[in-house]
Structure 1
């Protein structure tokens, strides 16, 4: 720095700018030298260095805090991703169970409906069979009654006392033999 000031002063003297002390560059250079001297005397570079070191420490601390926050955020993200995976798995399990229960209910409903249909069919068949048996009994009764009436009419028309006596004699003979 001192070399710069001296070269400025020498340059001003060579160019005929007047005397060395009347040059404006000289006074600027002298003021700068005094300024830098005061800075050195007051230990400004040390305080500037300390201030910069403090600022570096603050920035380093902020970076460390930011890194810790990033790690915390990543851990929180991983935790929520695990919770989401668990919730998705639980939802899938619930859906699977619900489907299985629905299938079981449908199968039970089908079995119940089939059993109900079978019972109703059996009841209808039993009613039909009972109606058939009743109708058959009525037809037999009607046929027996008609046959009896026809036989009575034929007997009354073709049978007389002599035929009765022959039948009685025949019946007695069969009893006596046996």
Structure 2
């Protein structure tokens, strides 16, 4: 209670000190500005100590420091996690790159094999078509030769018929028929 009374008195004294009173007088007088300011400062510090403001501010600063330490630890953990994720992604990227290169190499090999197979298939197809063309040419040649022979035979028979009919007389015709009958009889018996 006594402390409070001193504080109240000091507060009134500091409020009562005006610039006009502070202009003259000895140092330990309420008329001296330096003395009033010093008293007011000490009174202010005493009030702060009485209400334990430095401890509260220290506690707040400690809490803030702990929060900052926690945030730093969390940031370190996040950084380490990000680095591990980055390393993981880089490994996966290398694996995917290697796999893509293997796929490309396999595709090139398959394409080369397919090209060779296609060349072989085309060569075989050309050989079959050439053989078929040769067969068609031979068949056409044989057909043409048969047609030419048949036509030649037809022409020869027609020409022979005209020649024979022109040279045949009824007496000669009867003699040929008789000769043919005799030949058939001799062969049958």
TM-score of the superposed pair, with normalisation by structure 1:
0.59
Hey, what does 1:18 align to over in structure 2? 25
| Distance in 1 separating the partners of 2:139 and 2:44 | 133
| Distance in 1 separating the partners of 2:64 and 2:139 | 109
Q: Give, in angstroms, the shift of residue 40 of structure 1.
A: 2.3
Unaligned 5+ runs, structure 2:
1-22, 161-189
**4+ long deviations beyond 4 Å:** 126-142
Unaligned 5+ runs, structure 1:
1-15, 150-178
| Distance in 2 separating the partners of 1:83 and 1:119 | 52
Q: Give, in angstroms, the shift of residue 56 of structure 1.
A: 0.7
Deviation readout 1:97-134 (Å, 9 max, x if unpaired): 22222211111111011011122223333454566677
| Distance in 1 separating the partners of 2:142 and 2:48 | 134
Hey, what does 2:82 align to over in structure 1? 73
Hey, what does 1:61 align to over in structure 2? 70
| 1:3-152 to 2 correspondences below 5 Å | 17-20=24-27, 21=29, 22-128=31-137
| 1:157-172 to 2 correspondences below 5 Å | none
| Distance in 1 separating the partners of 2:148 and 2:48 | 142
TM-score of the superposed pair, with normalisation by structure 2:
0.56
| Distance in 2 separating the partners of 1:112 and 1:106 | 10
Hey, what does 2:174 align to over in structure 1? none
Q: Give, in angstroms, the shift of residue 73 of structure 1.
A: 1.4
| Distance in 1 separating the partners of 2:47 and 2:147 | 144
Q: How many residues were matched structurally?
A: 132
